[in-house]
Amino acid sequence: MSRPATGGRGRWLLRRVAYGATAVWATSVVVFAATQALPSDPAMAILGGDATPESLARLRLDLGLDRPLWQRYLDWLGGVLTGDLGRSLDSGTDVATLLGGRIANSLALLLLALSVAVALALALGLFAALRRGGLADRVVTSTAVSLQAVPGFVVAVALIVLLATTVWPVLPAASLLEPGLSPFAQLHYLVLPALTLVVAETPYLLRQVRSSVVEALESDYATAARLRGVPERRVIWRHALPNGLVPAVQATALTTGVLLGGSLVVEVAFSYPGLGGALNAAVGARDIPVIQAAALLIAGGVVVVNLLADLVTVLLTPRLRTGES
């Protein structure tokens, strides 16, 4: 028996948005507190070690460093909510301007890597699931397990040696994107960092797709469909695959979150001018406004991705979509 569930879904969506906003706020508190605890003096970082005590004291006053920590947090949070992320202590550039192009570069890399990883995981996961227990299944699964155990920086170094420097130097080792051009117009610079992320993340996705499709193929509703004389092809494409995709969607969201936060190693390895590289440089320079903004943007991206994954899960699950009791 089904019933209208628009109101219930609306309340569910509002709850998810509220949870996400709470998570971002909690992250902002942690990030702000952690950056304030760094052993560095913003005034000294701006003026340098030769600054006089008087000029340092005057700049600390201008920066509001004499105010209580809670007041500085509220001022910073108010600026974030109005789009003012502050100014870089290292370059003096507006943080929003500094990170704008970096965000676009990271999103381009993420989109390319995720598209390839999801396509490979779906194809190979379904291939292995349909041949479960056979030689092909064992080869695909064991290869995925082996690759999943390799750290991302090892994959990056191996690809640089294989495809950029020693064995077959056909791609640039450093992703020196030209400013002002779309990253997709410079695809040769994206290949190696994207391939590193694909190799690092596809095995996990593949195993999730395989296990969820196998579970769906061996479920009671698939068995009942076969007993009714439904052709196996229809059982696979109309029953098993849609239900098996639900865990895969959640796994994709988790992978996207990992890519958002974990692409730092890849961006540093290939000198890729993305958000992770900016965060790494800011940590080295103790550039607190950039650290705060980059960490908060990554946290917000993870929350948005998980919210979208929940929405897709509802669309793929008839019971949740129709409000069936």
* CB-based contacts of 195, cutoff 8 Å, min separation 6: 113, 159
Query: pLDDT per residue over 30-82, tens digit each?
Result: 989 988 887 777 777 777 777 788 887 887 787 777 788 888 899 999 999 99
Q: Is 287 left (phi over 0), alpha (psi -120 to 50) or beta?
A: beta
All domains of the chain, ordered by start, with CATH?
101-322 (1.10.3720.10)
- Tell me what pLDDT residue 259 has: 79
| Rg of the Cα atoms in the chain | 24
d(CA 163, CA 172): 8
- Tell me what pLDDT residue 235 has: 87
Residue 164: both structure tokens together: 């950029």
* CB-based contacts of 253, cutoff 8 Å, min separation 6: 305, 306, 308, 309
Q: How many CB atoms lie within 10 A of CB 197?
A: 27
- Tell me what pLDDT residue 320 has: 53
DSSP H stretches of helix in the chain: 6-36, 42-47, 53-62, 69-81, 95-130, 135-148, 152-160, 187-217, 220-227, 232-234, 241-269, 275-285, 288-316, 318-322
d(CA 19, CA 22): 5
- Tell me what pLDDT residue 325 has: 43
- Tell me what pLDDT residue 78 has: 92
Q: Which residues of the chain have pLDDT under 70?
A: 1-9, 261-262, 316-325
Given the structure tokens 């190799």, which residue do they identify? 199
- Tell me what pLDDT residue 3 has: 45
d(CA 136, CA 121): 15
d(CA 204, CA 247): 12
Given the structure tokens 């420097």, which residue do they identify? 165
Q: Which residues of 89-102 are buried (b: 16+ CB within 10 A; e: fewer)?
A: bbeeeebeebbebb
d(CA 157, CA 120): 22
CA 208 distance to own-chain centroid: 18
- Tell me what pLDDT residue 61 has: 81
- Tell me what pLDDT residue 199 has: 93
d(CA 202, CA 235): 26
- Tell me what pLDDT residue 4 has: 43
d(CA 26, CA 49): 35
d(CA 209, CA 99): 35
Tell me the pTM: 0.83
